[in-house]
């Protein structure tokens, strides 16, 4: 009598209880976030390329189901699922207004770095204050700060004076599915004081050319001549399937240009112009 097997119904009940407990335990272990900013777009997929299907409600808690490219997949109240930009969710100070720029991932590339000094104000000067790498990093930092104020997710190819190879730069943009890649450089002429001005280069037609136009249009108010856009066969934009441009923001070996390049006021004006240019680009 004591060796008799329990009825089939008992086994089924036990299995159902275990599965239910497992589901409850799994749900309880899911990551949850409180989204302080209302009006953040919930999209069909992890990126600006996907349509918005809803908007977040301020101070509401959501379950995070998955993460990809710094986007959260969340469960909505009606048992739907969608994706939100994690940097907007985790932002300490909520934005007053969420825009497409706020949802964008921007890779900022400070040209050269480390053992690669780039062009110089004086040939073989050996001083960092005359080297292109110094001012590309300063400019990149100013632009990054400005874009972050608008909520954008900014990733830099370098944030200090270190060497970064050419190929890893576009590779980074590819890996994070960047919505824009902007590389900052300073031009140089064969002889000092031969040339002056700003040129915005693109390699691929389509989105990259449109991005170049939007940025170059904003550079008209800078103290250096705006030479507009041009095709440029540079690896960091050539080997890049993301919208990508390379901006030569003046001639470092021209005295007039160099005096602007090293000024904080010039760098801040460029940062503002880049932000405005990106806003216009994403609005189209």
If DSSP states are collapsed to H, E and C, what string results for the chain?
CCCCCCCHHHHHHHHHHHHHHHHHHHHHHCEEEEECCCCCEEECCCCCCCCEEEECCCCEEEEEEEEECCEEEEECCCCCEEEEEHHHHCCCCCCCCCCCCCCCEEEEEECCECCECCCECCCCCCCHHHEHHHHHHHHHHHHHHHHHHCCCEEEECCCCCCCCCCCHHHHHHHHCCCCEEEEEEEECCCCCCCCCCEEEEECCCCHHHHHHHHHHHHHHHCCCCEEEEEECCCHHHHCCCCCEEEEEEEECCCHHHHHHHCCHHHHHHHHHHHHHHHHHHHHC
Instruction: Identify the band that residue 18 occupies on the pLDDT scale cut at 50, 70 and 90.
Output: very low
Mean pLDDT score of the chain:
90
Rounded to whole angstroms, how far apart are CA atoms 235 and 19?
54
Q: Is the pTM of this model over 0.85?
A: yes
pLDDT(22) > 80: no
- How would you classify the pairing of strands 52-55 and 41-43? antiparallel
When pLDDT is averaged across residues 193-203 and rounded to a whole number, the result is: 98
pLDDT at residue 253, as a whole number: 97
70-81 burial: b if 16+ Cβ within 10 Å, else e: bbbbbbeeeeee
Rounded to whole angstroms, how far apart are CA atoms 202 and 150?
25
Instruction: Identify the band that residue 90 occupies on the pLDDT scale cut at 50, 70 and 90.
Output: confident
Query: Of the CATH numbers 2.30.30.40, 3.10.580.10, 3.50.50.60, 3.40.140.10, which one belongs to the domain with range 28-96?
Result: 2.30.30.40
105-283 maps to which CATH number? 3.40.630.40
Domain segments of the chain as ranges: 28-96, 105-283
pLDDT at residue 12, as a whole number: 53
pLDDT at residue 13, as a whole number: 55
């Amino acid at each position: 009598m004591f060796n008799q097997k329990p009825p089939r119904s008992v086994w089924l009940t036990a299995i159902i209880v275990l599965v239910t407990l497992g589901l409850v335990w799994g749900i309880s272990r899911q990551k949850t976030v409180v989204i302080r900013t209302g009006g953040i777009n919930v999209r069909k997929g992890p990126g600006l390329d996907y349509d918005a299907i809803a908007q977040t409600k301020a101070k509401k808690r959501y379950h995070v189901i998955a993460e990809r490219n710094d986007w959260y997949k969340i469960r909505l109240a009606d048992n739907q699922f969608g994706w939100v930009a994690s940097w907007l969710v985790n932002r300490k100070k909520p934005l007053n207004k969420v825009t497409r720029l706020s949802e964008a991932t921007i890779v900022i590339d400070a040209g050269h770095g480390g053992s690669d000094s780039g062009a110089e104000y004086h040939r073989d000067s050996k001083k960092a204050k005359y080297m292109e790498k110094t001012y590309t990093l300063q400019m990149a930092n100013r632009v990054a700060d400005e874009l972050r104020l608008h909520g954008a997710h900014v990733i830099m190819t370098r944030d200090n004076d270190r060497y970064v190879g050419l190929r890893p730069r576009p590779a980074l943009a590819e890996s994070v599915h960047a919505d824009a890649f902007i590389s900052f450089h300073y031009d140089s002429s064969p002889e000092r004081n031969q040339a002056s001005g700003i040129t915005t280069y693109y390699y691929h037609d389509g989105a990259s050319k449109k991005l170049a136009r939007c940025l170059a249009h904003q550079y008209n108010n800078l103290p250096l001549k705006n030479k507009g856009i041009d095709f440029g066969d540079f690896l960091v934009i050539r080997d890049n399937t993301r919208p990508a441009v390379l901006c030569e923001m003046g001639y470092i070996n021209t005295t007039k240009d160099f005096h602007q390049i090293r000024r904080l006021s010039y760098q801040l004006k460029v940062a503002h112009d880049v932000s405005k240019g990106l806003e216009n680009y994403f609005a189209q």
